[in-house]
Amino acid sequence: MNRIRTALPAAAVAALLALTGCTPADGPGGKDAKDDATASGAPGGALAALTGLPVKKRASQDGYARDRFGSAWADTDGNGCGTRDDILQRDLRDTSHRGGSCAVVSGTLTHDPYTGGTIRYRRGSSKVDIDHVVALSDAWQKGAARWAPRKRIALANDPLNLIAVEASANRSKSDGDAAAWLPENQGYRCTYVARQVAVKKKYGMWVTRDEKAAMTKVLNGCPSEKLPTGGNPTEAPERFKAK
């Protein structure tokens, strides 16, 4: 592929692009130019954040157990509702509750992130799970084994790391990272990987080489994908303890 080697002043380049209506990816050498432009992503975006995550080997799973992240669905935000019901209320539509309580007894997951399907939720016989986007076992092997208990409890109950999804897809994922598993729904993959990057950045976790390569491949297809923010503090209140 032939390329123009003569450097032009930045103002001249901008004027030329404005006149032609092209972006750098539209003209000769466009594909390579696009690859160069998206190698680190837009500032503040998911791809840029990914480049800043440490890369290390997966640590041992020794010592991991679910209760190392506290009891399931603790009310760490102090709103009087367990985390599971908080996420069901956030992600489902047309929810109903048990009496005047927080307990969500029915609702509809109108567009499951992992499969794209619509799922009716009924408490006690549901095909809806609440997934940890960064699985707790994966977190354990990438930094969480060394954390204080209250930080692990915070991760397990952080809305940034939790979404309602179709149960069998969640169980297919198990504790896989992005190198091992991605959602069947390809239209959600950018959002999914961006959320994993956000959680790992927020909590100071690392990624493996294969995991980073898989994440980069996804995010290179959507270089403007924003990095999600928000969720709860990275340390649970003092009243919470874990082993």
Going from N- to C-terminal start, the domains of the chain cover 8-37, 43-220
Rounded to an integer, the average pLDDT of 134-151 is: 98
Is residue 235 over pLDDT 50?
Answer: yes
Strands (E) across the chain are located at 93-97, 104-109, 119-122, 128-132, 162-166
User: What pLDDT is recorded for position 37?
Assistant: 33
Contact predicate 224/43, CB 8 Å: no
Confidence bin at 158 (pLDDT 50/70/90): very high
In angstroms, rounded to a whole number, what is the distance separating the alpha carbons of residues 3 and 219?
A: 27
For residue 208, is pLDDT > 60?
yes
Which pLDDT value is given to residue 12? Answer: 42
Quote the Cα angle for 211-140-45, to 5°: 45
> Can you give the pTM of this predicted structure?
0.82
Rg of the chain over all Cα atoms, to the nearest angstrom: 21
Using CA atoms, how far apart are residues 121 and 24, in angstroms rounded to an integer?
A: 48
Residue 34: what pLDDT? Answer: 34
pLDDT the model gives residue 27: 34
Calculate ∠ Cα 234-71-181, nearest 5°. Answer: 70
- Output the pLDDT for position 222: 97
Nearest Cα to 162, choosing from 222, 217, 219, 83? 83
**243 pLDDT higher than 80:** no
The mean per-residue pLDDT over the stretch 4-22 comes to 38
Residue range 86-129, pLDDT digits in tens: 999 999 999 999 998 999 999 999 999 999 999 999 999 889 99
Residue 157, Cβ neighbours under 10 Å: how many?
A: 28
Contact 17, 166 (CB under 8 A): no
Q: What average pLDDT is seen over the chain? A: 86
Token representation of residue 187: 């239209």
Report the pLDDT averaged over residues 163-188. 97
**How far is Cα 228 from Cα 134, in angstroms, rounded to an integer?**
14
23 vs 144, residue with greater confidence? 144
- Calpha distance 229→162 (Å, rounded): 13
* Contact present, 225 and 194 (Cβ < 8 Å): yes
Q: Which residues contact 32 (CB under 8 A, 6 or more apart)?
A: 1
- Whether the per-residue pLDDT at 225 is higher than 80: the answer is yes
The rounded distance, in Å, linking the Cα atoms of 215 and 196 is: 9
pLDDT at 43: 67
Percent of the chain with pLDDT over 90: 78
> Which tens digit of pLDDT belongs to each residue from 24-61?
333 333 333 333 333 445 767 999 999 999 999 999 99
* Helix (H/G/I), strand (E/B), else coil: 33: helix
Q: Look at residue 5 in the predicted model and tell me its pLDDT.
A: 36
Tokens of 152: 């692990």
Rounded-to-integer distance, Cα 120 and Cα 34, Å:
42
